[in-house]
DNA sequence: CTATGATTAAAACGAACGTATGAATTATAC
DNA sequence: GTATAATTCATACGTTCGTTTTAATCATAG
């Protein structure tokens, strides 16, 4: 493994991450990717095998760290709680806060990866959904159990639904940072992007917790 | 205008709606669409001009009614209130409830269109975002103003953000009805789809209102 | 019935797609 | 320095894409 190889692989991953985010999987061509990465057209197939494998590697590079971190933080919370249930707000922050704080870390993909992730959760491509399902499964199961314990009086089905809703709100908050601005044509006051992120986290957390703890619907 | 023409146009729109929902805009080919609609390949270009125009017409066919209905319901609420601010819960139901109840109306696209809409709000394609922005603008402005009046003590920027979050939660609740099931691998109890929809509406409404009325974050 | 316009049909267009090939180049090991 | 393996490169392959063209078929009006 020489230096050039690493650079090439990394440049391809960076270009793929940005272009998949901006134009989607189907909307991004190998020639765009290799063009932006300034590498030969055949380099993607040489290093990753195929366009699909590249997409998976783009995700794996970031998700491995993210999900490990989520596990680590939840481990910590549970050991601090020493058998007592963990506060719902702490669980929500461990899952969504950890995600959002990635946006500020350019070494972990920053806002680009977060927007890619947000968009991909609604991506129709079969292989991507299957891949993400596999990547997420373990973490989801842990958090699901933690929330069940934290909210013993709430029916489990309700918690599962509300987790769905929270995922949706979060994905849009990120992916739609500019997409929804177009849809709504609302100008949110012009903060620079780090400011916006810093204020987004508490805003979203309030909303998520308000939704999670809302009174149960009566059927 | 003969009968055949209408049938052809309608069949193309139906096929396009379903396929764009299932595979996305870029992931759906003209040959798939015309194949499923059982019409000649050239029929799309003849009746709609291009693939882009077809996509726009797929949306216009449903959104025209939806947004008119949203306007009508809000008009009604405001005239009933006779100058007093309308209750936030009524506004939320007028906007999101009207949308969700479309899912039960097969003549208006039903679940298929709703899932298409949910997915498209994160779709990266430029022309689609621009088109949706234009279609939505008037309605959004009306609802924004109504919420400002209904929640005079909440900063406007906060309301705008929370509307974003509500849109995200709703889109995922619909678009992700099966997509997120894959991501999370959570089995939600097996209700038939009308049951699931009937229970989704109050569940989502509780969540949205809980989030909308959550305590403001302290910076 | 015939003329006219609207629609459908079959076929082909050039462009772009993801991938594969084999030679040229570069780095590593002895 | 030379052999060997890893990587880069230019190029081409076979498909599929959205669109266009030209002719055939249909419906309707006079």
pLDDT in tens, A14-67: 999 999 999 999 999 999 999 999 999 999 999 999 999 999 999 999 999 999
Q: For the residues A105-134, what does the mean pLDDT come to? A: 86
Whether the predicted pLDDT of B75 surpasses 90: yes
CA closest to C1' of C10 belongs to B40
The whole-number pLDDT of residue A57 equals 97
Q: For the residues B57-77, what does the mean pLDDT come to? A: 97
Q: Which of A87-96, A157-166, B39-48 has the lowest mean pLDDT?
A: A157-166
Chain A contact set for B159 (CB, 8 A): none
Q: Which of A204-208, A215-219, B155-159 has the lowest mean pLDDT?
A: A215-219
Tell me, letter by letter, the H, E, C secondary structure of chain A. CCHHHHHHHHHHHHHHHHHHHHHCCCCCCHHHHHHHHCCCCCHHHHHHCCHHHHHHHHHHHHHHHHHHHHHHHHHHHHHHHCCCCCCHHHHHHHHHHHHHHHCCCHHHCHHHHHHHHHHHCCCCCHHHHHHHHHHHHHHHHHHHHHHHHHCCCCCHHHHHHHHHHHHHHHHHHHHHHHHHHHHHCCCCCCCCHHHHHHHHHHHHHHHHHHHHCCCCCCC
Whether the predicted pLDDT of B4 surpasses 50: no
Question: CA-to-C1' distance for A4 and C28, Å?
Answer: 13
Q: For the residues B136-153, what does the mean pLDDT come to? A: 94
Whether the predicted pLDDT of B161 surpasses 80: yes
Interface test with B, best of A170, A186, A190 (most B CBs within 10 A): A186
Whether the predicted pLDDT of A176 surpasses 70: no
- Asked if A154 reaches chain B (Cβ–Cβ under 8 Å), the answer is no
Nearest of A51, A49, A37 to residue A4 by alpha carbon? A37
Contact B177, B116 (CB under 8 A): no
The whole-number pLDDT of residue B46 equals 97
The whole-number pLDDT of residue A191 equals 53
**Widest distance between CA atoms in chain B:** 64
The whole-number pLDDT of residue B34 equals 98
The whole-number pLDDT of residue B165 equals 93
CA closest to C1' of C16 belongs to A29
- Asked if B162 reaches chain A (Cβ–Cβ under 8 Å), the answer is yes
Q: For the residues B30-55, what does the mean pLDDT come to? A: 97
3-class secondary-structure state, position B59: helix
Q: How far apart are CA A212 and CA B211, in angstroms?
A: 8
Q: For the residues A121-132, what does the mean pLDDT come to? A: 82
The whole-number pLDDT of residue A182 equals 47
Q: How confident is the model at residue B54 (pLDDT cuts 50, 70, 90)?
A: very high
The alpha-carbon gap from B1 to the nearest alpha carbon of chain A, in Å, equals 35
Question: What's the pTM value of the predicted model, to 2 decimals?
Answer: 0.90
Percentage of chain A modeled with pLDDT above 70 = 87
Q: Name the nt closest to B33 by C-alpha to C1'.
A: D18
Footprint of strand D on the protein (CB under 7 A): A 1-2, 4-5, 7-8, 39-43, 46-47; B 2, 4, 28-32, 41-42, 44-45, 50-52
Residue B135 C-alpha from the chain's centroid = 12
Whether the predicted pLDDT of A181 surpasses 60: no
């Amino acid at each position: 493994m020489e230096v050039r190889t690493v650079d090439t692989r990394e440049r391809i991953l960076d270009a793929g991450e940005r272009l998949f985010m901006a134009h989607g999987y189907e909307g991004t061509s190998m020639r765009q990717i290799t063009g932006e990465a300034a590498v030969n057209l055949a380099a993607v197939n040489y290093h990753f095998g195929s366009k699909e494998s590249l997409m998976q590697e783009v995700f794996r590079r970031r998700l491995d760290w993210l999900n490990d971190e989520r596990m680590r933080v939840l481990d910590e919370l549970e050991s601090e709680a020493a058998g007592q249930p963990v506060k719902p707000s702490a669980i929500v922050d461990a899952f969504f806060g950890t995600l959002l704080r990635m946006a500020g870390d350019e070494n972990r993909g920053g806002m680009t990866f977060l927007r890619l992730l947000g968009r991909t959760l609604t991506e129709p491509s079969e292989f991507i959904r299957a891949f993400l399902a596999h990547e997420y499964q373990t973490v989801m199961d842990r958090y699901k159990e933690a929330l069940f314990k934290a909210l013993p009086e709430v029916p489990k089905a309700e918690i599962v639904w509300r987790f769905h809703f929270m995922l949706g709100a979060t994905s849009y908050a990120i992916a739609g940072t500019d997409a929804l601005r177009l849809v709504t044509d609302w100008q949110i006051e012009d903060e620079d992007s780090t400011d916006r992120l810093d204020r987004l986290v508490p805003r979203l957390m309030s909303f998520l917790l308000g939704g999670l703890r809302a009174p149960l619907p009566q059927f």
